[in-house]
Structure 1
Amino acid sequence: MILPEYGRTLNAEEWSPVIDELIEGQHIVLTTHENSDGDGLGSEVALALLLKLLGKEVSIVNPTEVPPNYRFLTHLYPISLFDDRDEDAIQALSLCDVVVLLDANLRDRMGSLWPHVSFSKELGSLKIVCVDHHLEPDDFTDVMVCENYASSTGELIYDLIYAFQKRLGRELFTPQIAEALYVSVMTDTGSFRFPKTSPYVYRLAGDLVSKGANASDIYDKIYNSLTCQALKLLGAALSAITVLDDGVISWLFISQDMLKATGSKLFDTDLIIQYLLSVPTVQIAVLMVEMQDGRTKASFRSRGNIYVNQLAKKYGGGGHMNAAGCLFQFSSDRAQKVLLEDLRAFLKTASSQVEGVNNEQA
């Protein structure tokens, strides 16, 4: 089967194990990584709407709350925040047939859900399915489709729905599903700016618009809905950015004091990192955020052949080659010192490797 006018063949065989598990299961829980983003949330909502259409009992249960600019998605399908002290939530998780993790391929990214999912799997017949597009997955699932060629997990869910249609012989896309998937693809491609925005992705987006997604409305809801607190944080953050090493590294640390002074929350930091890479000379941008429990979250962005997922991996994190992150298990003071030293060494090694490749090609 050729996807509509796109010239890319649908690999229905790849999706067959996923479809088998979702058809066999009746009580299905969908989840995504901690500190959810548009790709994870949009993919969850789209898949939940599809499964509901097929008569399944579906719940979306996430380890952290939905950021304000994505809460319009909850009008398409309800999203619950998991509380590991809530016996009803734990029981619901233990009674489901299938858990589907979207937009993450590491068990720890499930946060507080993972111990309960793992325990339920050991006790019964729970199946774990994962659909993702990041590098280097954990081996913890019964079925996994992890394709790092994809621009987003939403792109893969789009393919999955076409595979479902081929299996069942019926139209399954609705305007609501199209809207949720457009959120996924648009946000994870940086509004169609990032390198993995292939001609296929543009055509996919056009197909979703033709199926009912309102592109301008979705963009407005996500990017023109900053709270006053987030705006204050952005102002404070921009004045605190440091550019180091002759403009090669841009660096920003956001403390708990800064969050409290502006009345902002962790998810208000998500849009800030794009500003750190806006200086043309910068090769690596680093955003560090002090967590309430004393740990430190780090997000990395890079240009070209500077593969920051390798840097994140060193600290137990991961992600894409040019966009990755990790969580330091120690104080922010120590995290900043350790990371800056490692970052400089990493950048020196990466630059040498790129120079070596260029010399070989010459």
Structure 2
Amino acid sequence: MIVAQHGRKLDDHEWKPFIEILLSAEHIVLTTHMNSDGDGLGSETALGEALRLLGKQVSIINPTEVPPNYRFLSGVAPIDVFNARNEACIQEIALADLVVLLDANLRERMGGIWQHVDFGREVGKLKVLCLDHHLEPEDFADLMICEAYASSTGELVYDLIMSLQEYTGKRLMTPAVATGIYVAIMTDTGSFRFPKTTPYVYHVAGELVAAGADPNDIYDKVYNSLNIQALKLLGAALSEIRLCENNTVSLLLISQDMLRATGSKLFDTDLIIRYLLSVPSVQIAVLMVEMVDGRTKVSFRSRGEIYVNEIAKIYGGGGHRNAAGCLLQFSPEKASRVVLGDVREFLKTHVNNTVIQL
């Protein structure tokens, strides 16, 4: 495992072992985490196109459906959705000699794909690479590069592809590759406004635009293409937002009834959490979504030095310091009580030791 230090990027020498495994493979499967986002999708489509330019046979297989506002990336590289009954996807994994996981550093984030990857490693020559930027990686891959201080996995993919160009002498930064990386960086930096948006990130963005990425078109496709079901869900959700803990915490519970009534799906909830942190007094935003099996998906967002990944870790989750999540094994009603209790204790400890009344 390679974990780069704060304030620098990996050089060509550090990329070399990763590149050598990539180039030694012929049939490569790329994947990302469940409930994929712009960083994972943009990273895998960009890397997939670059590897095809190097003559590799590449398939992209994801554990869950691609959200509608990112489906234009299928024009960069086709994306298949894994299903345990889909023999074509299983066959692709069985034939692969390399699987690359992007934007996740836990094997469970691969969903049902992992058991087939694990089986391939046991009985054949399959290797696993992991490229990610989240905290606390699980050491399960043959080689993992996890740069926790990068703004996005897309930033790492940019550096990787530039090193691949240097290593192979082939031009790989095409408009399609640049588009995928730009989507990854733009979405994971909150349109270049989150704390890890360094001067280097702006430099990379400029290089991507010069290579053919269209910022206006990409932003329009990602953020201005909500379907009517998502808009109905947003309208219903906004009226249910609760402010608590002396208005320092915002909380929203989206039930299966709400999803059914609006005709929306799980991925339609992704853009809602930004509204929970829009109130100036709110320090922590909590979005809870009831899953079809009764469990509760929880997303946390926070400001400044309030690191909500510490809360997510209580429940076996994780993520970034200011953006994290977890999956609770109980109902939303119980989740609301339990999580709010832990948020209160967290705020007591981490925000000027202030006691906050429920």
TM-score (norm 2): 0.95
Matches within 5 A, 1:21-32: 21-32=21-32
Report the counterpart of residue 174 of structure 2 in structure 1: 174
* 338-347 vs 28-37, greater mean Cα deviation: 338-347
3-state DSSP class of the match of 2:144?
Answer: strand
**C-alpha distance in 1 between matches for 2:8 and 2:346:** 37
Shift of 1:170: 2.8
**C-alpha distance in 2 between matches for 1:53 and 1:353:** 55
Shift of 1:352: 4.4
Cα pair 2:286 2:299 within 8 Å, conserved: yes
Report the counterpart of residue 98 of structure 2 in structure 1: 98
Cα pair 1:10 1:163 within 8 Å, conserved: no
Cα pair 1:43 1:153 within 8 Å, conserved: yes
Shift of 1:92: 1.9
Deviations 1:218-265 (A, max 9, x none): 000010001111001001111100000111100000000001111110
**C-alpha distance in 2 between matches for 1:258 and 1:59:** 35
**C-alpha distance in 2 between matches for 1:9 and 1:248:** 36
Report the counterpart of residue 351 of structure 2 in structure 1: 351
**C-alpha distance in 1 between matches for 2:80 and 2:248:** 42
**C-alpha distance in 2 between matches for 1:73 and 1:170:** 23
**C-alpha distance in 2 between matches for 1:8 and 1:325:** 27
Report the counterpart of residue 37 of structure 2 in structure 1: 37
Change (3 A) 1:353 1:174: farther
Shift of 1:10: 5.4
Change (3 A) 1:329 1:8: closer
Cα pair 2:347 2:353 within 8 Å, conserved: no
The code of the aligned residue for 2:27 comes to: H
**C-alpha distance in 1 between matches for 2:267 and 2:9:** 37
The code of the aligned residue for 1:191 comes to: S
Shift of 1:294: 1.1
Report the counterpart of residue 204 of structure 1 in structure 2: 204
Question: Any unmatched runs of 5+ in structure 2?
Answer: 1-6
Report the counterpart of residue 56 of structure 1 in structure 2: 56
Report the counterpart of residue 133 of structure 2 in structure 1: 133
The code of the aligned residue for 1:93 comes to: I
3-state DSSP class of the match of 1:325?
Answer: strand
3-state DSSP class of the match of 2:112?
Answer: helix
The code of the aligned residue for 1:205 comes to: A
Deviations 1:166-191 (A, max 9, x none): 11123211011001110000000000
Shift of 1:353: 7.1
% identical equivalent positions: 66
Q: CA RMSD in A?
A: 1.4
TM-score (norm 1): 0.94
Cα pair 1:33 1:103 within 8 Å, conserved: yes
Report the counterpart of residue 281 of structure 2 in structure 1: 281
Cα pair 1:32 1:102 within 8 Å, conserved: yes
3-state DSSP class of the match of 1:187?
Answer: helix
Report the counterpart of residue 334 of structure 2 in structure 1: 334
Shift of 1:88: 3.1
Report the counterpart of residue 4 of structure 2 in structure 1: none
**C-alpha distance in 2 between matches for 1:89 and 1:278:** 41
Cα pair 1:14 1:145 within 8 Å, conserved: no
The code of the aligned residue for 1:269 comes to: T
3-state DSSP class of the match of 1:240?
Answer: coil
Change (3 A) 1:108 1:240: same
* 328-337 vs 8-17, greater mean Cα deviation: 8-17
Shift of 1:340: 1.1
Matches within 5 A, 1:296-307: 296-307=296-307
Report the counterpart of residue 252 of structure 1 in structure 2: 252
**C-alpha distance in 2 between matches for 1:103 and 1:97:** 20
| Structure 1 ranges of 4+ moved more than 6 A | none
The code of the aligned residue for 2:19 comes to: I
Change (3 A) 1:205 1:117: same
Shift of 1:91: 2.4
**C-alpha distance in 1 between matches for 2:136 and 2:202:** 27
**C-alpha distance in 2 between matches for 1:86 and 1:228:** 30
**C-alpha distance in 2 between matches for 1:352 and 1:31:** 42
The code of the aligned residue for 1:299 comes to: S
